[in-house]
Structure 1
Amino acid sequence: MKLKFSLTYGTMWGESLHVQIEYLGYDGSVRRHNLPMNTNDGRLWTLETVALGSRHHPMSAFRYCYQVENAAGDIIRREWNMVPRIYPFDPTKDYTMPDSWRDIPFQYHMYTSAYAVTMYGSRGEEVRPLPTSLYRRTLLFRVSAPQLKPGQELAVCGSHPALGGWNTSRYMKMQYAGQAEWVLSVNVMGMFFPIEYKYVVVDAETSAFVAWEEGDNRTTGDKEISDGEVLALDGGFLRVSEDVWKIAGVVIPVFSLRSSFSYGVGDFGDLKRMVDWVVETGMKMIQILPINDTTKTRGWSDSYPYNAVSVYALHPHYVDLEAAGVLSDKSRMTAYHRQRQELNALPYSDYEAVDRVKTAYLHELYAECGWQMSGTEEYRTFVEKNAGWLMPYAAFCSMRDRCGTAHFEEWPEHSVYNQEAVRRYCDANQEDVQYVYFVQYLLHRQLLEAGDYARSKGVVIKGDIPIGVCRDSVDVWMQPQYFNLDSQTGAPPDAFTQNGQNWEFPTYNWPAMIADGCSWWRSRFAHMEHYFDAFRIDHVLGFFRIWEIPLDSVHGLLGHFSPALPLTSGEIEYFGLPFRKDLFTRPFINDSIIDRIFGVHAGYVRDAFLISGPYGLYSLKGDYDTQRKVERHFVGMHDENSIWIRDGLYRLISNVLFVEDPRQPEMYHPRIGVYNEPVFDALSVEEKEAFMRLYNNYYYNRHNDYWREQAMTRLPVALGNTRMMVCAEDLGMLPDCVGSVLDALRIQTLEIQTMPKQSGLEFAHLAANPYRSVATFSTHDMPSLRMWWEESPERTQRYYVTMMQKEGRAPEHLPAHLAEEIVARHLYCPSMLCLLSFQDWMAMDGELRSDAVREERINVPADNSHRWKYRMHITIEELMKAERFNQKLRQMITRSRR
């Protein structure tokens, strides 16, 4: 059996084209080969190889894709392979494949499981090699047709009588191979080439002709087919225009859901109940926040859903308790029902109280029926399939609770992960470990059930993947090679956080991740695919560059972008700024600055924290020369004066003009936002001008191509061939390259009217939203629509006049009819997805919406100790009964053609 490949593709010097072939055995085995192709002109690439089956491992099929490699063997780019080219293996045939390179199609969304769920109520079938008839001389047609509507099929009609002779009543029907792929094999013995043809759409039930595909006729080419040859014509994508696909949905964290069955926090049972309301209103998507376990201390700090201790384990709070099992002791159930009523009576979710109640219930349930559940085949299968992460996670939880800390470096034993030692620990602590397995199995089963139920109703559940993981997490413990533990991540200053954000996650060691094909990321996405059909990449900018902060910093001001291209002293001087390392990289402190920052406390600060030096300058004492040291000194001091002094010292420490790169000595990053700091005022006029030239070049020009290259290296490999719809949170300080990268990868952008991406605008025009985008008014990090309306009357007035085109004074509080108009404008915008927060949907009804506007905020990014506690003010059952409101939503969504 010979395989003959040919492809026209323009390469650059040093690049070569390769074919990645996989032979699939009947026994599930896969044999992989990466074969270089040949070329004489750098454009036409060919390869002929012999594929030999094995008597012991017979092959059922083969699949392949093309990739570009450099001289070192690194993969420069891969063609789109979500829908693989796959053919049945016949050792008696030779296959000839004249192909074209496949870029990600513009209709990419139509290949996602999110699209399939809303259109067909299921994820669709995986592409498979059909038992296709192969003849002495075979012409094999193949084309991808995601544009077909339910009830339509594909056929071939062409110039030869065997293909209908262009008669639309004599076409040849094709077979569906899954994932929008259609195939047809034709016996061409005695036929003369070339043959012209086109694909046609036909009605599946009546077989009536529906439409020709557009464009010129296709052709088989002049080459005659030999005996024993299969000519496989991959036709690419069907040339038929698709209908515009737009949907609406609601954004709400799982912990915010409320029903009469929940225990003070939303759970996966509530998520399933929420699907019914979404169906009732005509929505098609529910977007949630991360649901991974964040348990470190069992205190309020664990309510932060982006601080996961495992990227696989689900949070125990989300177990629907009574769906998991009812205790046989009726008095205990009565007690728990009383606690449920008390927790549900609260206007918010009390994290610590919920943790106590749910943990106690689950322990009692495990003691009563855990042994019975662990004996089921489904349970054993779950444990076996997930053992790679489940066993280390269970050991981590056990040692965290026994040692009283999740900081594994402080554990007396097992502080360094060793697989065999952890296995022995689990064997010796079966009760702890089996309890964790039990809880994770319940969570898995309930989330899977919610996802399947949503799909059956045509509803997509969209997950959220945090950009970072907790430093004290199973992932860092198990695979420290993937993380830079000498730094932490965050975000640079913005309109909401003048000191930047410090998330305290370790940064990723991307070279190590790329070296093994981003297996950690791919495994993570594959696991999410069990539950979700779409997901949001939190802070997608982290795939371009991350804001890296020194470990000894509290704020984000002393951070720098990583990877980046820091400046040498020579480059700095090239911009006209004479470089003085000590003066520019150490905190600049003089009497004027001390008096300005500390006021009446200036004398005390000089004596207690500073050392006087030459030229009227000061330095910080060794006990206070980093922000972490200052933080530790002021622990427990919450009076106004202590906070004033502490924050002033933080500011002194960050009062530097440049930050030296931690991994490249004698190379420097201009400190972000330093033009607002006292050290900048100390420069001469000429020095200020030189610094700003340098600063603007560094932050807005220097890195565009570099960061584009980083993202194009990381994102396609990390995402792999996931069928989930990918949506990006692309807010913040955006490099110019972000838009083009997301567009090339067909990733949905996030469009917020009050955070325009075009500079110079206060508000974005909704009509200018790109089609491949998510439109919303607020995120969990922002105030709700009603809160935003009340925050700044001046800004609201400008929005009222310019965006809403109203006259007169804007009302102080947002009335329901104006909220309805704002929502309607979002529904009618071009964005593919319109996903509004639950609070903003409710703003349209003056009777149903909450009276406590200030309680609608989910998170305040500037507050590191913020409690994530927002909860719906009414139950899902009450929502289902709000017929007038639900009918209004359905009408608005239907009329906007979503």
Structure 2
Amino acid sequence: MKLQFFLRFHTTVGQTLQIAGNFKSPGTGEGEAIPMSWLNENYWQASVEIDPSHDPEIRYQYQLVAADGKIVTEWGNDRCFTLKQGSFEACQFVDTWNHAGEYENAFYTAPFLETLLPQTGGKKPKQPKTCSHIFRVKAPLLQKNEVICLLGSVPALGEWATEVPTMLHREGNWWTVSLDLPKEGFPLQYKYGVYNTKEKAFVRFEAGANRSLFGDAGQHLTVVHDGFVQLPNNTWKGAGVAIPVFSLRSKNSFGVGEFTDLPLLVDWANQVNMKLIQLLPVNDTTATHSWMDSYPYAAISAFALHPIFINLEEVAGKKQSAIVKPLKNKQKELNDLPAVDYEEVMKIKMAVLKELFVAQKDVWLSNPEYQEFFDRNQYWLVPYAAFCYLRDQNLTADFTQWKEHSHYEAAAIDDFVSPEKDHHDDILLHYYIQYQLHRQLKAATAYAHRHGIIVKGDIPIGIYRYSCDAWMSPALYNMDQQAGAPPDDFAIKGQNWGFPTYNWQKMEEDGYTWWKQRFAQMSEYFDAFRIDHILGFFRIWSIPLSAVEGIMGHFVPSIPVHVNEFSERQIWFNHHRYTRPYITENILRDRFGNLQQYVRDTFLEETGFGQFNFREEFDTQRKVENWFAHQEIPDNQGWLKQGLLDLHSNVILFEEKDSNGTKFHFRFAMEQTSSFRMLEWDTRQKLKDLYVNYFYQRQDDFWMQEAMHKLPALKASTNMLICGEDLGMVPHCVPDVMKQLGILSLEIQRMPKDPKKEFFHPNDAPYLSVVTPSTHDMSTIRGWWEEDHAKTQRFFNQELGQWGEAPLFCEAWINRSIIIQHLNSPAMWSVFQLQDLLGMDAGLRRNDPGEERINIPAVAKHYWRYRMHMTLESLMKEKAFNTDLKEYIKAGGRA
């Protein structure tokens, strides 16, 4: 059988098109793309002969090949058609390219298809005895009782009569109809419309010009894929609440929020007509068995769930309830605390879980559901359990310090976890805990889905340096580097997260298997996810392991400054002067005062002309920090150490490793260093120009190519809805890439992406975005209001449109006005921290807004312990508050 493909697509010079499918043509191999040829300004075509008996189901996608050879694949995998052998001599497909950035594609992701907008099809009509044409089109946002219909210029399509239009029915993602159209009617003019089956009335035509179909009916079948019906498909809007699991509080939780608390949150969200619950990462972070493990972005496994979220009573059941009953008083004591006592909660839960494991071991091991769970997850579960055991035996998660198995070998670990080993029960304990966590989270998210609510997870940009992932596959990460962020108003020294950066070249070798496994694991529980710091897929702020502060990093990858560029721009260049800390007697006197001599004698060596270098034992920030960690000398508030760290960052350039003095990267905020200020005026001006070129001009296309090399493949591997945290120093290319790929952006009122604006107004948000007044990394609305009165005064007058003096404290009506602004935004989602929602009610909110903050990014060792100050059960009883919130959501046009 001959297949002919016609694609509506207008190309530019140098671009070509091809088809990737489960068929081949002469001269191509199985699965190899088939080149298309230009037909005219509007169409490309290709032909192929196939044997339908080999595989009657045809599956294919179109690909655009750029002039430089880069390939862009259209979005979706639903171009499929089953051929009936002997029915036709040929089959032709007339298609429309499916651009990933079309916002309608969002409605074909899992949360909409399975929970928010479960589609029902129209009644399947009687099929004609002979069929010349099949029309297929998508329409994601039809109202109840509405179906798609087809009207056109020929009698078979009613000659545009709206009284008896041709009805389509739903098959998969497509609305479709089979017709027998006589050849006399071509070229055909037609349009899709909407018909209400209950009212038996035509509702409307689609927008735009008439559609056209050329050619005629003959000894071939024509299948028309028409893309999306041209309707206002950006009208659906939802609201959501964001809160970490650990912050939930219920009568039955144990000093911390648990997975079993999520159904209560679902009940409340459903009560106020919210459609989304957004969580922070829920992966196991147990590295030190201390409160420092409260940091949710430092998981020891990208796959394992955190034991702190387990509900002991649910695990015990009736048979082992005697094990947990004696803990009632302790449970009440911990539950009454204003914040999470991480260490005490973990200590008790792990002790009880060990008891329950012993009591349930035999029954649990023979459970078919557990066996299925183990078989599906053993690729990460077995190494994780071994890692946890070895961590505890060696009293450290730093696997480089372990006496045995410091280097992961799959065969050795398989032997290590075998039932013959004395420690096998210790390994089984971790299988047991992960299975119980899986059951509880799965039940919670299934409950959410039954109530029409989706759950959004969070994928950290990095992995913990001493994690199971790094232990298993260190080559996938740059272990000699640390990920972070450049300085900003919230962290003037930058941020150093300590995570190794990704070795993307190595990850690409196996088709990003680790990422795809990670997404698959996420989709077990979540419908959507937030990519933490999506800018890391364009470039990451990379800090050498020898440095402590984020200010010592630079973007990787990036196009460096070549040494020749200095002479080309007539810039005086001195390698030593630009790349080493600039330390003079004046700088020492100004910074250290009467301690300057001590600093000189202890840490520095004189080089002459009143200048100094660090001694070898202090020539990196890491060496300085390590020295202070072992000293018993007074250093109030770390003042002396900070002064020395600042000396290390008093540089203009960082030399690129292994470049032999030929390639350099500018230190961020170079102009703020005394090293820069001490240069003569002309040199400063020329360096500034080159600095601007380096950070804001030369990198953009390069970073765009980097992102387009990774993100399309990763996005195509999952059908979850993807949202990107695109905050910080955002390259110009980022919005375009996210728009091309249909990834939702994050819009925050106090962090405008337009540098000319002080505030962002929710009314200006793009449809494919999430608007929020604050995130877990920021102060709440109320906390922000008290930070800078001059700024909030301008916000009060300009953004809220109020006259006069702004209140010193954020009164409930102000908080409410900001929430309502966000609910009325055109963005697909408006999501709020629970603290911000409670801030609308003076009687419900906490007295001190400072107690509502979840994280302070500038504090490297922050204790993540915020908890709701009221129970979820109490919140559900606040009828007046809940009714008002529901009305605000409804007034904002949110589903």
TM normalised by structure 2 equals 0.93
Give the direction of change, closer, same or farther, for the CA distance of 1:686–1:644 in structure 2 (3 Å limit).
same
Give the direction of change, closer, same or farther, for the CA distance of 1:193–1:574 in structure 2 (3 Å limit).
same
2:655 paired residue among 649, 655, 660: 660
Amino acid at match of 1:756: P
Task: Could you tell me which runs of 5 or more consecutive residues in structure 2 were left unpaired when the two chains were aligned.
Answer: none
Partner of 1:644: 639
Q: Does 1:250 align with 2:270?
A: no
Distance of 1:169 and 1:641 partners within structure 2: 84
- Partner secondary structure for residue 412 of structure 1: coil
Distance of 2:351 and 2:720 partners within structure 1: 36
Amino acid at match of 1:825: Q
Give the direction of change, closer, same or farther, for the CA distance of 1:807–1:185 in structure 2 (3 Å limit).
closer
Larger deviation, residues 497-506 vs 244-253: 244-253
- Partner secondary structure for residue 334 of structure 1: helix
1:814 paired residue among 798, 804, 810: 810
Larger deviation, residues 722-731 vs 463-472: 722-731
Aligned pairs for 1:459-474 (under 5 A) are 459-474=453-468
| Superposed displacement of residue 721, structure 1 | 5.2
Contact 2:566–2:573 under 8 Å retained in 1: yes
| Superposed displacement of residue 314, structure 1 | 1.2
Contact 1:18–1:34 under 8 Å retained in 2: no
Aligned pairs for 1:50-129 (under 5 A) are 50-52=49-51, 59=55, 61-69=57-65, 75-81=70-76, 83-92=77-86, 93=88, 94-104=90-100, 105-116=102-113, 119-120=116-117, 122=118
Distance of 1:875 and 1:462 partners within structure 2: 22
Aligned pairs for 1:293-312 (under 5 A) are 293-312=284-303
Contact 1:11–1:42 under 8 Å retained in 2: no
Q: Does 1:449 align with 2:443?
A: yes
- Partner secondary structure for residue 52 of structure 1: coil
Give the direction of change, closer, same or farther, for the CA distance of 1:211–1:797 in structure 2 (3 Å limit).
closer
Larger deviation, residues 146-155 vs 511-520: 511-520
Distance of 1:853 and 1:189 partners within structure 2: 72
Contact 1:327–1:368 under 8 Å retained in 2: no
Partner of 2:175: 182
Contact 1:37–1:45 under 8 Å retained in 2: no
Give the direction of change, closer, same or farther, for the CA distance of 1:238–1:394 in structure 2 (3 Å limit).
same
Contact 1:517–1:718 under 8 Å retained in 2: no
Amino acid at match of 1:39: S
Partner of 2:259: 268
Amino acid at match of 1:279: N
1:673 paired residue among 650, 655, 669: 669
Partner of 2:139: 145
Partner of 1:438: 432
Distance of 2:450 and 2:370 partners within structure 1: 24
Amino acid at match of 1:754: R
| Superposed displacement of residue 151, structure 1 | 2.4
Give the direction of change, closer, same or farther, for the CA distance of 1:277–1:621 in structure 2 (3 Å limit).
same
Amino acid at match of 1:658: L
Q: Does 1:856 align with 2:847?
A: no
| Superposed displacement of residue 206, structure 1 | 5.7
Distance of 1:173 and 1:597 partners within structure 2: 80
Aligned pairs for 1:432-831 (under 5 A) are 432-635=426-629, 639-641=634-636, 643-662=638-657, 664-665=659-660, 666-720=662-716, 722-831=718-827
- Partner secondary structure for residue 436 of structure 1: helix
1:411 paired residue among 397, 402, 405: 402
Deviation readout 1:581-632 (Å, 9 max, x if unpaired): 1111111111111112222211111111111112221111111111111111
| Superposed displacement of residue 874, structure 1 | 0.5
2:189 paired residue among 187, 196, 206: 196
| Superposed displacement of residue 765, structure 1 | 2.8
| Superposed displacement of residue 351, structure 1 | 1.0
Distance of 2:577 and 2:128 partners within structure 1: 78
Amino acid at match of 2:291: W
| Superposed displacement of residue 547, structure 1 | 0.3
Deviation readout 1:124-162 (Å, 9 max, x if unpaired): 69x9xx999797653121111113223222233334444
TM normalised by structure 1 equals 0.93
| Superposed displacement of residue 797, structure 1 | 2.3
Partner of 1:213: 206
| Superposed displacement of residue 88, structure 1 | 1.3
| Superposed displacement of residue 109, structure 1 | 2.8
Amino acid at match of 2:75: W
- Partner secondary structure for residue 143 of structure 2: coil
Partner of 2:32: 34
Contact 2:323–2:356 under 8 Å retained in 1: no
Distance of 1:891 and 1:7 partners within structure 2: 47
Deviation readout 1:360-408 (Å, 9 max, x if unpaired): 1211121112331332222211111122222222222222222222222
Q: Does 1:360 align with 2:351?
A: yes
Amino acid at match of 1:584: Y
Partner of 1:371: 362
- Partner secondary structure for residue 230 of structure 1: strand
Q: Does 1:839 align with 2:835?
A: yes
Contact 2:39–2:45 under 8 Å retained in 1: no
Contact 1:488–1:505 under 8 Å retained in 2: yes
- Partner secondary structure for residue 326 of structure 2: helix
Distance of 2:717 and 2:384 partners within structure 1: 27
Distance of 2:759 and 2:887 partners within structure 1: 27
Distance of 2:704 and 2:595 partners within structure 1: 48
| Superposed displacement of residue 466, structure 1 | 0.8
Give the direction of change, closer, same or farther, for the CA distance of 1:455–1:89 in structure 2 (3 Å limit).
same
Distance of 1:608 and 1:371 partners within structure 2: 64
- Partner secondary structure for residue 836 of structure 2: helix
Distance of 2:507 and 2:308 partners within structure 1: 32
Give the direction of change, closer, same or farther, for the CA distance of 1:857–1:419 in structure 2 (3 Å limit).
same
Partner of 2:5: 5
Distance of 2:56 and 2:484 partners within structure 1: 50
Contact 1:326–1:333 under 8 Å retained in 2: no
Contact 1:519–1:718 under 8 Å retained in 2: no
Amino acid at match of 2:861: S
Give the direction of change, closer, same or farther, for the CA distance of 1:680–1:649 in structure 2 (3 Å limit).
same
Give the direction of change, closer, same or farther, for the CA distance of 1:199–1:678 in structure 2 (3 Å limit).
same
Amino acid at match of 1:423: D
Give the direction of change, closer, same or farther, for the CA distance of 1:604–1:218 in structure 2 (3 Å limit).
same
Give the direction of change, closer, same or farther, for the CA distance of 1:738–1:634 in structure 2 (3 Å limit).
same
Amino acid at match of 1:266: G
Partner of 1:27: none
| Superposed displacement of residue 116, structure 1 | 4.2
Larger deviation, residues 369-378 vs 497-506: 369-378
What fraction of aligned residue pairs are identical, expressed as a percent?
40
- Partner secondary structure for residue 619 of structure 1: strand
Distance of 1:136 and 1:775 partners within structure 2: 52
Amino acid at match of 1:416: H
Distance of 1:444 and 1:19 partners within structure 2: 41
Partner of 1:234: 225
Give the direction of change, closer, same or farther, for the CA distance of 1:422–1:71 in structure 2 (3 Å limit).
farther
Contact 2:93–2:222 under 8 Å retained in 1: yes
Pairwise CA RMSD of aligned residues?
2.6
- Partner secondary structure for residue 822 of structure 1: helix
Partner of 1:259: 250
Give the direction of change, closer, same or farther, for the CA distance of 1:695–1:107 in structure 2 (3 Å limit).
same
Distance of 1:164 and 1:302 partners within structure 2: 68
